[in-house]
Chain A
C-alpha cells in the first residue's frame, strides 16, 4: 500500500492564481481531511469528508473548496491564492466508525504564495 499520497510536494503561486492540491489514499478509508501547518503552530483542520459526496468545514475553511467524488481522492482547491495561504498542507485519512482511530497523514505539500 502506498498509504496517503499528495501531489505536488512543492508549489509556488502568484497572488490570485488558482490550483488544486491532490490527495489520494489506497486504504479504503472513509474519512479524509485537509490540514494546514503554519510556522510555530500545530496543524489546523481546513475541511474534512466522511465519505464520497459528503464534506464539511473545519476550523479554517475560508479560501478553500473540496469535493469527494470517490473514496480514494480528496482534492483541495484554492480558488484565488493569497499570501496568507502560504503553508504546508497535509492530507489525512482514517478508518472506522464510532471510534478514535488514528489519522494517517500524507507527506505534505509546501505551498508559497507570492
Chain B
C-alpha cells in the first residue's frame, strides 16, 4: 500500500533563512509522482512543485526545491529565503501509476510552518 509520512507536525524558521520539510513515502510501484502543496490559513490548496520517479534531477520552482533521494524514499521540500507569507500548512502527496493511477493522490498529515520576523 502507498503511504506518505511527514514526521514534523510543526516547524519554525527565521525570515530569510532556508528550511527543509521532510517527507518519506512508501510504494512498490516503479512509476510515481511526488507533489507538494501549500495550504495557507485561508484554506485553499496551492500546488508548489512536482517530482517524477524517473526524473534524474531534483525539481526546482523559484524558491522551492525538492530534495529527491529515491533509494531512501524521501522527497523533502526546501524553501530558501523564507518569507512571512510562507507561514502555512504544507502537504506532501503521491500518486502511482499502477497503484490507483494518476488521479489518486495520497496525502501526508502535513507540516505547519511558522516564519518569524
Contact = CB atoms under 8 A, between A and B. Distances in A.
Given A100-B95, A107-B44, A108-B44, A43 B107 contact: yes
Question: Interface majority SS on B: helix, strand, loop or mixed?
Answer: strand
B35 to A, nearest CB: 6
- Residue among B37, B107, B110 with the highest chain A CB neighbour number at 10 A: B107
A100 B52 contact: yes
Interface residues of B, number: 23
Interface stretch (B11-19, B63-71, B75-83, B97-105): B97-105
B109 A40 contact: yes
Contacts of A42: 4, 91, 93, 107-110
A99 interface: yes
A102 B109 contact: no
A33 B103 contact: yes
A45 B4 CA distance: 14
Contact of A43 (B47, B50, B52, B91): B91
Contacts of A88: 43
B103 A48 contact: yes
A108 B108 CA distance: 18
Contacts of A94: 102-103
Interface string A85-101: 00010101010101111
A45 B44 contact: no
A50 B44 CA distance: 23
* 3 shortest interchain CB distances as A-B pairs: A42-B107, A100-B33, A105-B45
19 contacts: A31-B103, A33-B103, A42-B4, A42-B91, A42-B93, A43-B91, A58-B104, A88-B43, A92-B45, A94-B102, A99-B102, A100-B50, A100-B52, A100-B95, A102-B47, A105-B37, A105-B44, A105-B45, A108-B43
